Amino acid sequence: MKLYNYFRSSASFRVRIALNLKGLPYEYVPIHLSKGEQKNPEFAAMTAEQLVPMLELDNGPRLTQSMAIIEYLDETHPEPALLPADSLGRARVRALSQIVACEVHPLNNLRVLKYLVRDLKVGEEDKNGWYKHWVSLGLQAFEGQLLASPHSTYCHGETPSMADCLLVPQIFNAQRFDCDLTGLTRTMGVFEACMKLEAFQKAQPSACPDFEA
């Protein structure tokens, strides 16, 4: 498999974690979003979205959208499972995942931040304020969801799930933008537990071959 991704892309980070948790080897293909490499004709011809991650399977099909890729990996390589066996558990993990993927990330991804600055002429301070506002709302909701259920090491139970794959990159980004993470006791406890695992450590941006400080 080939994973077309960018070291700082949180969506790419999610898929790297999932691949590592599954123990699946893949070829790392860097697409530098900040340099606009996603618009290069060769890559643009592969995917209508012109976004990463994109997972090219051994037999040719190309998958896009991080949650769809993770669920595909879970269906085709069931162990270790990233979605619970029970329907209520799966709904909870998907809901936690979507807090990040649907409520936070779409408002704060690179192309949105660039649009704020380039097209709407938003200043750096206001751009960062925008970022922190949506991260705060989303992570407070995430914390509330965790508090509403019995304590567990990870987002759902005692093994990492898709929700952990989504949470960890969002915390990395929040820390990079110096967001206030105080009061997120359960959320940060899950993050710290995840980062003790090799699958998460090997997926982090600084471990990527195209990493730039």
Identity of residue 61: P
Domain borders along the chain are 2-80+200-207, 87-197
Query: What gap in Å lies between CA 121 and CA 117, rounded to an integer?
Result: 5
Q: What is the pLDDT of residue 17?
A: 98
Work out the pLDDT band at 72, boundaries 50, 70, 90.
Answer: very high
Model confidence at 95: pLDDT above 90: yes
- Which fold, 2-80+200-207? Glutaredoxin (3.40.30)
**pLDDT tens column, 156-203:** 999 999 999 999 999 999 999 999 999 999 999 999 999 999 999 999
Q: Do 16 and 203 form a contact (C-beta atoms < 8 A)?
A: yes
Q: Global pTM? A: 0.96
Q: What would be the CATH architecture of the domain defined by 87-197?
A: Up-down Bundle (1.20)
CB atoms within 10 A of CB 92: 20
Q: What is the pLDDT of residue 154?
A: 98
Query: What gap in Å lies between CA 8 and CA 189, rounded to an integer?
Result: 23
Query: What gap in Å lies between CA 114 and CA 22, rounded to an integer?
Result: 34
Query: What gap in Å lies between CA 13 and CA 210, rounded to an integer?
Result: 13
Query: What gap in Å lies between CA 181 and CA 187, rounded to an integer?
Result: 9
Work out the pLDDT band at 213, boundaries 50, 70, 90.
Answer: confident
**pLDDT tens column, 128-157:** 999 999 999 999 999 999 999 999 999 999
Ramachandran region, residue 150 (left: φ > 0; alpha: ψ -120 to 50; beta: rest): beta
Average pLDDT of the residues of the chain = 97
Q: What is the pLDDT of residue 200?
A: 98
Model confidence at 15: pLDDT above 90: yes
- Residues linked to residue 55 through DSSP beta bridges, in sequence order: 3, 63
Sequence-ordered strand ranges (E) for the chain: 2-5, 27-30, 54-56, 62-64
Tokens matching residue 80:
């270790």
Model confidence at 62: pLDDT above 90: yes
Model confidence at 51: pLDDT above 90: yes
Residue indicated by tokens 């990159």: 169
Q: Do 135 and 177 form a contact (C-beta atoms < 8 A)?
A: yes
- Residues linked to residue 3 through DSSP beta bridges, in sequence order: 28, 55
130 sits in which H/E element: helix 124-147
Determine what percent of the chain is predicted with pLDDT higher than 90: 98
